[in-house]
Structure 1
Amino acid sequence: MPEAPAGTPGIELSVASYNVHKCVGTDGQFDPGRVVAVLAELGADLVALQEVDRRFGRRTALLDPARLAQATGLQPLPVSDLPDGMGWHGNALLVRPGTRWQLRRIDLPGAEPRGAVIAELTLPGRTDRLRVVAAHFGLLRRCRTRQVETVLAAIGQGKAGQGKAGQPTDMPTLLLGDLNEWRLNRARNALTGLEAVFGGVTGGPPSFPSRRPFLRLDRILGCAQAQVLRVEAHDTPLARLASDHLPLKAQVRLPPAQQPARSDLAAAA
């Protein structure tokens, strides 16, 4: 994670989101090694992954944590309730060693099983916390609308939460994931409920399908305290082959550390 130059408020963090399509590439071949190589290309400090586990039967991980760590310097947070799993409803978070964390897993309403991971992170070299929501929304618009409401409530910004939509979040917050919304028309876009916290939701680069992307299914969104400065699709020959989604990568500016870290945060060794 880069340090800010002297006199510059805050720091910049490189983050990414990647739907790995259960490690099946656009050639129909199952190859976790290609996914790991794409993650190494990204060079991000924090990555949200979708579809990292087997879909049927025992939801074991498709990526090898040791191979991930060797290639990228990142390690998965213990999101799965299986010793050989990696995700929650396929969602995983990769962080730098030394990151301290608290985790919460939530189920998302809808016609098919979906979920989100909410992590409060203390990054190496900092004392304050960053909240990261990693999610994979459903295919139906009515389900995505309900899933937006559930996420906002979970971070205290929705009707069922302690806060109120439109108020600032209590800490810098990012939302990363495959949100499955392609509509540019705000009137029909199921994500507009997020705008009170995260700003505009209809923009961003297309990421699907990876060979010739034209749909904006993936998002990296930040609140006022976690400003997303630029977002781009990571479009390389290997990324076009490894999954049917291109990864998104962004630079995020965090404010100067002010809040003390909580003593009960666990550390990623």
Structure 2
Amino acid sequence: MTSPILRIATYNLQKCVGLDLRRNPRRCLEVLEQTGAAIAVLQEADKRLPPRPAALPHDMIEREGWQVLPFGQPGGSLGWHGNAMIVRPGITCRQTRKLDLPGLEPRGAIIADLDTPIGPLRLMGVHLGLIGRSRRQQCAALRRAVEPLEPLPLVIAGDFNEWGSGADLDAELGFIDLLPSPPSYPALRPVGPLDRFGISGGLQAGPVRPHRVQPARIASDHLPLTVDLSARGVQ
């Protein structure tokens, strides 16, 4: 019997403003549809200024068959510090958590415990800081946040803002192993592996892939990445 596969995407939307300087949320949704992902972890999903309304409107997302997980704040935001998650039918959410992260810039993370075709899964969405020391502090804070929780297979996804190998962040994350990541930034000519996935034990992952099909190369300054996951040991 073939093992079930779960495809997850991570995508920095840049507030749905493309490289043509047009704000076009429908174009970003078209890109997500093309990826074939059942779960999308989003960054910069809200506009910058308070009350940070959603750059990707809730009703537009739902009309396209996605469910928005409940991380938003009063004022119509989609997520927490711009981090959001949307899921396809067949994915159910048990619980959500929001974290403030340390560092010189205001940053946060989101966590969802999900029931998925490959079993229970804890998914963490992040957008780490621009300063290396802050990124290391933030990864250590993420590890401390999940250590006391009920053990579940865990995936971390998001924009790590890390141009190098990420070995120092991998060390701070502890039991989460960052996967090799292809360049995803800037979208027209990617050179930086800023966007990444990591997994804990109990999961196996195919290669992380960038989605380059238009309009992905113009819809944001980042390309979306996808990874296919399965439960380890399932045949």
Normalized against structure 2, the TM-score is what?
0.92
The match for 1:192 among 171, 196, 209 is 171
Query: 1:34 deviation in Å?
Result: 1.1
| Contact kept in structure 1, 2:52 and 2:75, CA below 8 Å | no
For 1:205, the equivalent position in structure 2 comes to 182
For 2:204, the equivalent position in structure 1 comes to 227
Secondary structure of 2:28's match? Answer: helix
Query: Moved runs in structure 1, 4+ residues, more than 4 A?
Result: none
Q: Aligned pair count?
A: 233
Secondary structure of 1:252's match? Answer: strand
Report the residue type matching 1:198 in the other structure: I
Query: 1:252 deviation in Å?
Result: 0.6
> Aligned pair 1:64/2:57, yes or no?
yes
* Structure-2 separation of matches of 1:185 and 1:148: 11
For 1:260, the equivalent position in structure 2 comes to none
* Structure-2 separation of matches of 1:93 and 1:101: 14
Report the residue type matching 1:182 in the other structure: W
> Aligned pair 1:140/2:131, yes or no?
yes
Change beyond 3 A, Cα 1:30–1:151: same
Deviates more, 1:147-156 or 1:23-32: 23-32
Query: 1:180 deviation in Å?
Result: 0.6
* Structure-2 separation of matches of 1:62 and 1:46: 18
* Structure-2 separation of matches of 1:92 and 1:30: 18
CA RMSD of aligned residues (A): 2.1
Query: 1:222 deviation in Å?
Result: 1.1
The match for 1:75 among 39, 61, 67 is 67
Change beyond 3 A, Cα 1:242–1:11: same
The match for 1:246 among 202, 219, 223 is 223
Secondary structure of 2:207's match? Answer: strand
For 2:111, the equivalent position in structure 1 comes to 118
> Aligned pair 1:41/2:4, yes or no?
no
| Contact kept in structure 1, 2:178 and 2:196, CA below 8 Å | no
* Structure-1 separation of matches of 2:187 and 2:135: 23
Report the residue type matching 1:85 in the other structure: S
Q: Show structure 2 runs of 5+ residues with no match.
A: none
The match for 2:142 among 151, 157, 182 is 151
What percentage of residue pairs aligned between the two structures are identical?
39
Q: Which has the larger radius of gyration?
A: 1
| Contact kept in structure 2, 1:89 and 1:115, CA below 8 Å | yes
* Structure-2 separation of matches of 1:41 and 1:251: 15
| Contact kept in structure 1, 2:176 and 2:200, CA below 8 Å | yes
| Contact kept in structure 2, 1:32 and 1:62, CA below 8 Å | yes
Q: Show structure 1 runs of 5+ residues with no match.
A: 1-5, 157-161, 164-168, 258-269
Change beyond 3 A, Cα 1:84–1:190: same
Report the residue type matching 1:37 in the other structure: E
